[in-house]
Chains A and B, each alone.
Chain A
Amino acid sequence: MWKTVLRRVLFMIPQLFILSILIFALAKLMPGDPFTGLITPDTDPKTIEALREAAGLNDSILVQYGRWITNAFKGDFGVSYTHKIAVSSIIGQRAGNTVFLSLFTIIMTYVIALPVGLLAGRYQNSIFDKIVVIYNYISYAVPTFVLGLVILFLFGYQLQWFPTSGSVDVGVTSGTFAYFMNKLYHLILPGLTGAILGTATTIQYLRNEVIDAKQQDFVKTARSKGVPVSKVYSRHIFRNSMLPITSNIGMELVALISGSIFIETIFAYPGIGQLFIQSIGSRDYSVITALVMLFGVITLIGTLVSDILMSVVDPRIRLD
């Protein structure tokens, strides 16, 4: 298996290389550049031109790409044109928030979805199952921003149980337990929104798998051998039903980093999703390319992790 993993990792290099050419070219093809938005009738156009020249934007695209890829190999993704700090630190700032939020969301999703999905499958057609199915249809249908706004309005403004914006209160000393709790407190509403949306898929998968598995021969065999029902569910069915969920984990990992533009916008939560959209708007090339490369790496790693996990969960699947 390790051979395969190594091969896959090596194969990522040309993939990422092609991705980098594509994204670099596409970013440069967009009209305007980071200085277009800075035009003022009184800033001498020469000043802007000088900044452009100093930033190397007047060089040919090949020269620019060459410079960028050389630096990128050294781990230097340049300085953000808009934020004027190193790309790594602006992404670092936001990524911390996004990872924290996504982890929280994923944990909440599984804490809700696993038992609900299993029970709904087990007691198919019961009242509980019907409620779950209706809940699923609704959470599938509701757009993120509608749900986000409703939750914000209800728990944030009407009941005032939770903060309505930001990731942490200003003035809490970073690194303390109070700081962590304060961050967690800010996470609940955006996390809940993400979780409600995320549960629909997971519950649906699980429920269907459980219903399927119930009819399988190995379940009937287990039952006829006299294995207690609860044990059949926890040992035989559960593990089998987890297969589609496991294959999904890779994508969850991608979502973990790329963030959600809607949730971040509604709850004024500074994460990667917003940073990405904002950078495209302001033509912040260095941030755009670094982020796409990051997404690329994570996606490739994510699928690899999924494959590895699949082979662990399901012995029939072999990596090589």
Chain B
Amino acid sequence: MNMKKKGTSLLVSLATVSLVLAACGGGNKSGGNDASKDNGKENVDKSLFPIETSNDKDAIKGGTLNVALVSDSAFKGIFSQEFNDDAYDSKIFQFNVEPLYTYDDNFAITNDGPTEVKFDEKAKTATITIKDGVKWSDGEALKAEDIAYTYEVVGHKDYDGVRYDETFKNIVGMEAYHEGTAKTISGITIKDDQTVVIEYQEVSPAMLNAGGGIWSGVLPKHNLKDVPVKEMAASDQIRKNPVTLGPFKVSNIVAGESVEFVPNEHYYKGKPKLDKVVLKRIPSDSIVASLKAGEYDVALSMPTDIYKSYEDLENTTILGREELSYTYIGFKLGTLDKEKGEVVTDPKAKMADVKLRQAMAYAVNNDEVGEAFYSGLRQNATTLIPPAFAGYHDKDLKGYTQDIDKANELLDEAGYKDVNGDGIREDKDGKPFEINFASMSGGEVAEPLAQYYIQCWEEVGLKVVLSTGRLIEFNSFYDKVKADDKDIDIFQAAWSVGTDPTPTGLYGRDSEFNFSRFATKDLDKLLKDITSEKSFDEEYRVKAFTAWQEYMAEELPVIPTLYRYETLPVSNRVKNLDWHYGATQWQNVELTAETTEK
């Protein structure tokens, strides 16, 4: 069973396509899980960028923080984790929506948020206890019934968001409620005003992770109870004057353009220091000029492909961190049996020889790709767990770096030889051998990057051509890849993994998203180990992750190609902004000058 939650998505460079990203913004960085701390991020190279501001000037009283949201289209403005499916909206509501729990630097749930989460793996329950004095932005107390109500909304048959998935169905009695055969969800019990117990059918260690199975959102029942679930996403209670738990609350909205936030005086961690936050949508063409002119203090979702144009701005500090995503090149090794919902690996597939796959990985230089195409903001990926998951990313795996001799050697061994002397290798039977490569259009580097890979492979004698003869538009690309199109042997794509690194959803035997269609008994076992009961022991879990990463690096159904950095330009007058995942505390952020430098 897939015990993960959303937060993973197809990454695209097309701004027009809506994506689902993790909705677990905000929260507190803290001690939490000790075992994971030992493997913690102290060891990870963060030298490329600072990750928090180092402004030590005296703060002014109050002030307005001007925030830019870089996007080429108007934002949607759905201010709720339950109804949102858009990365831009979740960047906006980080100021006013606060999740129920916080997480540490390994994304494990911690208890520094508005509630305490106690997970009992034996009883298969999670007990959520609301701390004293936690209030909604309208002054009402956060109650246990709000949490229960949230599940009733997401599980409702009229609910039209994307959150009702396996993790919700995993709650005892949820499906009966969803189908209308039960009035309430039997697995959710309100113990008292401040305590809710949720009972699950199955538990997995992934549930200890933020976004791993315990829903982090909460809706104000007193405010929403008269709104039919069908109309909720469109209602003013969600879009215009949402009642939320976060440090700020919405005071004004111009649809699709800008949002004004004022401090939430009922915020349980104390009133924020700023007087106001004004967020505006800015197109990528003018964001650099705007920063230069001192119009903004923070630029959210800053494009990295124009990094060169803003790296030296004098009035701005660039914060950076590793994204929870990676680019990869996948090999088609089988098909999906739609009826059984199972991957069927074909031992006779064109790319079935592991040496061929390894040779193709040795043929390319991804560090060079990162430097040349992405100004160094992308780097050679070594494993399928991005380094941001410091505890689970296998640092000892070196991955594949360019080694042309080794690539040639492997191909010779595998029997791909050039029999007619034209510089291109034929297949094992001496017949012409051509590999079809599918790559997505979008962005300026898409074409040169695809051509670069094709050239690299030609150097080792492999003839690779673009499927359909050109780059493929995002929707068609995934249509073809999903349908195991005969014209695709290899494909370049990206995954954004949310705050839960469990790989079953991407590489499991019964996962539709296992686009390589690679499944073996060994892999089944390794994946099962990661989500097994034994993995509730952190040390065991880390080992299970390592074993899986090593296996995938050896068998190479996909070549991880690039890790990505994301950047956050911050003006020099901003103080106390920490951009570690889950550590940003907007209520603590201050300004040290009346106006932004130019």
**A79 within 8 A of partner (CB):** yes
In the complex formed, the residue of B with least CB distance to A274 is B73
* Contact B285–A266 (Cβ < 8 Å): yes
Roughly how many angstroms separate A187 CA and B453 CA in the complex, as a whole number?
Answer: 47
Q: Are B16 and A277 in contact (CB under 8 A)?
A: yes
Q: Which one, B43-51, B255-263, B408-416, is touching chain A?
A: B255-263
Q: CB within 8 A of B254: which of A32, A85, A168, A278? A: A168
> What's the least CB distance linking A186 to chain B, in Å?
10
* In the complex, per-residue mask of B9-48: 1 if CB is within 8 Å of any chain A CB, else 0: 1101010111110000000000000000000000000000
CB-CB under 8 A for A153 and B289, given A40-B6, A170-B257: yes
Residues of A within 8 A of B253 (CB): 170
State how many residues of chain A have any CB contact under 8 Å with chain B: 54
Interface size class on chain B is 35 or more
Q: How far is the CA of A157 from the CA of B285 in the complex (A)?
A: 13
Known: A168-B254, A171-B260, A282-B17. A268 touches B283 (CB 8 A): yes
Listed residue (A32, A41, A278) with the most chain B CB atoms within 10 angstroms of its CB:
A41
| Stretch of B363-371, B468-476, B562-570 that contacts chain A | B468-476
Assembly CA distance A282 to B16 (angstroms): 6
Contacts A32-B475, A43-B165, A165-B282 given; does A281 touch B255 at CB 8 Å: no
Q: Given the complex, which residues of B lie within 8 Å of A56, measured CB to CB?
A: none
A40 in contact with B295 given A32-B476, A153-B289 (CB within 8 Å): no
A43 touching B162 by the CB < 8 A rule?
A: yes
Q: Which residues of B contact A13 (CB under 8 A)?
A: none
Say yes or no for A4: interface residue by CB 8 A criterion: no
* B residues near A43, Cβ cutoff 8 Å: 6, 20, 162, 165
A82 interface residue per 8 A CB criterion: yes
| A31-B165 CB under 8 A given contacts A41-B513, A82-B18, A93-B255 | no
Are the C-beta atoms of A274 and B74 separated by less than 8 Å? yes
Question: Is there contact, CB below 8 Å, between A31 and B476?
Answer: yes
Main secondary structure of the interface of B (DSSP, over half): loop
Given contacts A157-B292, A157-B293, contact A82 B76 (CB under 8 A): yes
**Cβ-based interface call for B148 (8 A):** no
A/B interface sample: 30 pairs, CB < 8 A: A32-B479, A36-B478, A39-B9, A40-B6, A40-B7, A40-B9, A41-B8, A42-B5, A42-B8, A42-B498, A44-B2, A45-B512, A84-B78, A84-B234, A85-B234, A93-B256, A149-B286, A153-B289, A157-B286, A157-B290, A157-B293, A165-B282, A165-B283, A168-B257, A170-B252, A265-B72, A266-B283, A266-B286, A268-B282, A274-B74
Given A168-B254, A270-B257, output 16 extra A-B contacts at Cβ < 8 Å. Answer: A36-B479, A37-B475, A38-B85, A39-B10, A50-B164, A84-B234, A89-B234, A93-B256, A149-B285, A153-B289, A157-B286, A157-B289, A166-B254, A170-B259, A270-B74, A275-B74
Residues of B within 8 A of A (CB): 2, 4-10, 12, 14, 16-20, 72-74, 76, 78, 83, 85, 160, 162, 164-167, 233-234, 239, 251-260, 278, 280-283, 285-286, 289-290, 292-293, 295, 473-476, 478-479, 495, 497-498, 500, 505-506, 511-513
Interface residues, chain A, with chain B CB atoms under 8 Å away: 30-32, 36-48, 50-51, 54, 79, 82-86, 89, 93-94, 149, 152-153, 156-157, 160, 164-171, 265-266, 268, 270, 274-275, 277-278, 280-283
Closest 8 CB pairs of A and B: A281-B16, A32-B475, A41-B505, A31-B476, A170-B258, A270-B74, A41-B513, A84-B233
